[in-house]
Chain A
Amino acid sequence: MPRLDLVPIFLPGRQEMLDCLSETLKLQLGFEVRQHRPDFDARTSFDTNRGQYNSTTLLRMLLEDLPAETDYVLGVCGVDLFIPVLTYVFGEAQLSGPAAVISIHRLDPLVYGLPADDTLLCSRLVKEAIHELGHCLGLVHCHEPACVMRASTYVEDIDLKPTGFCHECTRLNEADTCRISP
C-alpha cells in the first residue's frame, strides 16, 4: 500500500478537518496516510510584494523533507498560494511526481464574504487533494464533468464536480498502478 504523508502548513485549529481528509484519502485512494509537522521554515516561501506564498517553493521544501519510506507527500496550507506567472492557485502538484501542495484559503466560504461552512470547506478540500494527487499519479485534466480531474479555476467549479474519478481516468490509472478505487 503506497504511503502518503499529510503535512499541515500554517493550518492551526484544523486538526479535525485534517483527520477527515486522512480518512477519505485512505478510503478513496487506498493509501496508507500519515500526518507529520513540516521540518522546514515555510515562512521563506512568502512573497512580500504579492502577500502570498509561493507554492513552487513549498513543493521544493516538501520534496527536500520527504522521508525515505514515503511515496507521496501532500502539503495542506491555510494560506493563499501562487506561482509567479499566475495570480493564485488552489494547489500545485508534480505531474507523475511524489509531491503536491494545496491551500484551503480560497476554498473557504468566509473568503467570499459568505457564512462559515466547514462541511462545504471539507468537501472542497477533499476534492482538491484528490485532484492534485491525481496529477501525482500521472493523470491530466479531464473533460468529463463528472470527474474530480476536471480543471477548476473557480471555487464553484470544485463544487460541481464529484470526489471520484470518471471511468476513463480510473482505467488510465489502473492500467498504470491500480491505485484508485472508483
Chain B
Amino acid sequence: MDQNAPGILIVDDEYSVRDSLEQWFQKDGYRTASAEDAGEALKLLQETSFDVALLDIKMPGIDGMELQRRIQRLDTDVTVIMITAFASVETAVQALKEGAFDYITKPIDPDELSHLVRRAIEQRQLKAENVQLRQKVEHLTTPEQIVGASPQMQKVLELVRSVAETDATVLIRGESGTGKELIAQAIHANSGRRYFPIIPVNCGALPESLLESELFGHEKGAFTGAQYRRKGRLEMSDGGTLFLDEIGTINSRTQVDLLRVLETKEFTRLGGSTPIRVEFRVISATNQNLEQLVEQGDFREDLYYRLNVFAISIPPLRERREDIPLLAQHFLKKYSRQMNRTFTEFDSGAMDMLVRYPWPGNVRELGNAVERALVVGKPPVVAAKDLPLQLNDTGSQPAGDSLADVEQAHVERILEQAEWNVSQAAKILGVDRTTLYNKIRKYGLNR
C-alpha cells in the first residue's frame, strides 16, 4: 500500500460494511483503515493521519455525530462524510451543519461514493494548497523592513499598526524619499486585504490624459490607439488597496471623477457605458501642502476630506538623525548582499559624514549614497571618500550674511556634529558651556 496515498478511515459497527468499503477504496489506490467504534477510531486518528473519515451515524455507544465533534477537536483537517440509513437523513443534515463535508445513504451508489470521496480529497488538497499559498503570499508581500528606532518613527509604526486593520482611508504625508510607499505597503500587508493586491498609481508621473485611462481603464476604440479593452487600476485593486501616490498633482477633472468613484465605488471604463462596481481601500500620499492647495482652489475640499480620514506624517530624516546609523547599516547589508560584496561597516569618518549630512532626499538619498559607496569603495569598510556627499554642503546654512547668521549656522552645525553633547560642542567651539547655552537660547536652537 502506498503510504503517501490519501488515507480513508471507515468507522462502522458492521463488519461487512467496513470490509467491503476498505476493499473498494484499496482498489482505488487509497490507504485505508477501519474501526468498529468511536474509541478505536480516535485511537487510529491519534496514530495516523487520514484525509477522509467515513462515519456511520448509528453506532452503539458514541454515535457518528458525537464522533464527528471529537474528530474535529482532534484533527480539524480530516474531512468527514457521514453514512446514514434513509431513516436518519435529518441527523445527517444536522451533521452537515456541524461541519461534515457531506452524507451518503446506504446502500451507496458506487458512482456517487467514488465522486464524493474524490471531491472530499480534492477539497482537502485545495485547503492545504490555500494555506501554503497564503503563507507564500504573506512572505512575498511582507514589505521591506521599515528601519527606525527614533521616537518619531516608532510613533509612525504604532499608527500603521493601529490603522491597518480598520480599513480606514489613509493619507500619508512626508517629504520626497521618506518612504511613503513603504508605509502604504505595511498598512496593506497588515490589513485583512493582504491576500488581494495593492495597486500603486503614481499620479505625478503620468500625463493627465494617460492618468485617466490608467485609473479607469478603457474600452476598445475609446480613443486613438485603444486597440484593446484594458482594465484600469481601480478595477485591478478590487478587494485590495489602491495607493495613490502624489495625489496633489491630479487635475481638477480627474479629482471630480475620483471623488465620484470613492463615494459610489462605481465607475465606467473610458468609452464604456457599463458601470463596474469595485471595492477597495484607498491610501494616498503626498509631499505637498494639501491644505494650501485647497485654499488656492487647486485641490477639491470634498476630495481632501475624503482622503484625509487618517493622516500619518513621516518625519524627514534630518529630524531623526539617530535613525541614520541604523538605516545606513541596513542599506550596507542589503546592497552588499545584492552586489555580492563583503562590506561590513562604515569607518568613523564616513559615519560622521552620514550623520551630519542634511539628506534633502531623505531615506531614498541615503540608500542611493550607500549603494554608490559600495560600488566605488573597497571592502570591508566604507570610507568617507566613497560617499557621494559634499561635506561643505552639509550642516546648517547661514540664513544671511550677517555675523549673527553665520554664527548661528556654525553653532548649530557643531551641535549636530556632537549629537547635541553640549560639553563636547563647547570644546570644539572653544567656548565654555555657559556661553554655548546662552547662544543656544539666543538663537532659539533645539534638536
Q: Main SS of chain A's interface residues?
A: loop
Residue of A nearest to B17 (CB): A85
Which listed residue, B26, B29, B108, B111, touches A85 by the CB 8 Å rule? B108
> Is the pair B114, A151 in contact by a Cβ cutoff of 8 Å?
yes
Choose, from A15-23, A87-95, A173-181, the stretch at the interface.
Answer: A87-95
Interchain nearest-CB distance for B303 vs A (Å):
58
The residues of B that contact A83 with a CB separation of less than 8 Å are 16, 20, 24
Which listed residue, B20, B27, B106, touches A135 by the CB 8 Å rule? B27
> Is the pair B23, A153 in contact by a Cβ cutoff of 8 Å?
no
Q: Cβ of B109 < 8 Å from any Cβ of A?
A: yes
> Is the pair A140, B29 in contact by a Cβ cutoff of 8 Å?
yes
Residue of A nearest to B106 (CB): A85
Q: A151-B114, A153-B110, A154-B111 are in contact. Are A86 and B24 (CB under 8 A)?
A: yes
Q: Cβ of B82 < 8 Å from any Cβ of A?
A: no
The residues of A that contact B27 with a CB separation of less than 8 Å are 93, 95, 135, 140-141, 151
The residues of B that contact A88 with a CB separation of less than 8 Å are 110
> Is the pair A86, B20 in contact by a Cβ cutoff of 8 Å?
yes
In the bound complex, CA of A84 to CA of B107 (Å): 7
In the bound complex, CA of A101 to CA of B136 (Å): 50
Residue of B nearest to A92 (CB): B23
Q: Cβ of A82 < 8 Å from any Cβ of B?
A: yes
The A-contacting residues of B in range 108-140, CB under 8 angstroms, are 108-111, 113-114
Q: Cβ of A56 < 8 Å from any Cβ of B?
A: yes
A-B contacts, 16 of them at CB < 8 A, read A50-B107, A56-B16, A56-B20, A84-B17, A85-B17, A86-B24, A86-B108, A86-B110, A86-B113, A87-B108, A87-B109, A95-B26, A95-B27, A140-B28, A141-B28, A141-B29
Residue of B nearest to A157 (CB): B111
Q: A151-B114, A153-B110, A153-B114 are in contact. Are A85 and B20 (CB under 8 A)?
A: yes
> Is the pair A82, B107 in contact by a Cβ cutoff of 8 Å?
yes
> Is the pair A140, B110 in contact by a Cβ cutoff of 8 Å?
no
> Is the pair A89, B29 in contact by a Cβ cutoff of 8 Å?
no
Number of interface residues of B (CB under 8 A): 21
> Is the pair A153, B16 in contact by a Cβ cutoff of 8 Å?
no
Q: Cβ of B21 < 8 Å from any Cβ of A?
A: yes
> Is the pair B23, A87 in contact by a Cβ cutoff of 8 Å?
no
Interchain nearest-CB distance for A98 vs B (Å):
15
Q: Main SS of chain B's interface residues?
A: helix
The residues of A that contact B17 with a CB separation of less than 8 Å are 84-85
> Is the pair B109, A86 in contact by a Cβ cutoff of 8 Å?
yes
The B-contacting residues of A in range 40-60, CB under 8 angstroms, are 50, 56
In the bound complex, CA of A69 to CA of B24 (Å): 28
Interchain nearest-CB distance for B384 vs A (Å):
68
Most buried by A among B14, B110, B114: B110
> Is the pair B26, A86 in contact by a Cβ cutoff of 8 Å?
no
Can you add 16 more A-B contacts, CB < 8 Å, to A50-B107, A83-B16, A153-B110?
A56-B19, A82-B107, A85-B20, A85-B21, A86-B20, A86-B24, A86-B109, A87-B107, A88-B110, A95-B23, A135-B27, A140-B29, A141-B29, A151-B28, A153-B109, A154-B111
> Is the pair B28, A86 in contact by a Cβ cutoff of 8 Å?
no
Q: A140-B26, A141-B27 are in contact. Are A84 and B16 (CB under 8 A)?
A: yes
The residues of B that contact A85 with a CB separation of less than 8 Å are 16-17, 20-21, 83, 106-108
The residues of B that contact A154 with a CB separation of less than 8 Å are 111
The 7 closest A-B pairs by CB, nearest first: A153-B111, A140-B29, A83-B20, A85-B17, A84-B16, A153-B110, A141-B28
The A-contacting residues of B in range 335-369, CB under 8 angstroms, are none
In the bound complex, CA of A85 to CA of B113 (Å): 10
Residue of A nearest to B28 (CB): A141
The B-contacting residues of A in range 111-128, CB under 8 angstroms, are none
The residues of A that contact B20 with a CB separation of less than 8 Å are 56, 83-86
The residues of A that contact B21 with a CB separation of less than 8 Å are 85
In the bound complex, CA of A92 to CA of B113 (Å): 16
In the bound complex, CA of A50 to CA of B20 (Å): 17
The residues of B that contact A151 with a CB separation of less than 8 Å are 27-28, 114
In the bound complex, CA of A56 to CA of B110 (Å): 16
Interchain nearest-CB distance for A141 vs B (Å):
5
The residues of A that contact B24 with a CB separation of less than 8 Å are 83, 86
Interchain nearest-CB distance for B117 vs A (Å):
11
Residue of A nearest to B118 (CB): A151
> Is the pair B16, A87 in contact by a Cβ cutoff of 8 Å?
no
Interchain nearest-CB distance for B275 vs A (Å):
46
The residues of A that contact B107 with a CB separation of less than 8 Å are 50, 82, 84-87
Residue of A nearest to B115 (CB): A153
In the bound complex, CA of A135 to CA of B23 (Å): 11
